[in-house]
Amino acid sequence: MASPDALRGHVDAMLLAVLSAGPVHGYGAVERIRERSGGVLDFPSGTVYPALKRLERRGLIEGEWETGGRSKRVYRLTSAGLAALETERSDWTTTASLITSVLGAARG
């Protein structure tokens, strides 16, 4: 399992990715990450909700209160968020490839 330190800095990108599947409330985003990671990643609300607020302040997502029963804030990706997600995916592919090259290199 990846260490929490290795995941730090990637929470925003993971949230953008799960929001690309459609609008969802905060706990639903946590569930999507848990499902996509095969149950390995289970972020606490103290990690997810500040990240959602940060993404909203940056204009990458929009939140709206949904009523009917218990009120919950539902988040959706903006066009700027979709562009940021594509950049994150590209950056991640490059970074992962580079690290794999270094870690997989033969000693010598």
Q: Cα separation of 23 and 19, whole Å? A: 6
b/e per residue 22-38 (b: at least 16 CB within 10 A): eebbbebbbebbeeeee
Instruction: Dump pLDDT digits (tens) for 51-107.
Output: 999 999 999 999 999 888 888 999 999 999 999 999 999 999 999 999 999 998 666
Q: Residue 38 is encoded by which pair of tokens?
A: 């095969």
Q: Residue 1 is encoded by which pair of tokens?
A: 């399992």
Q: Cα separation of 95 and 40, whole Å? A: 22
Q: Which pLDDT band, with edges at 50, 70 and 90, does 5 fall under?
A: low
Query: Is the entire prediction scored with pTM above 0.75?
Result: yes
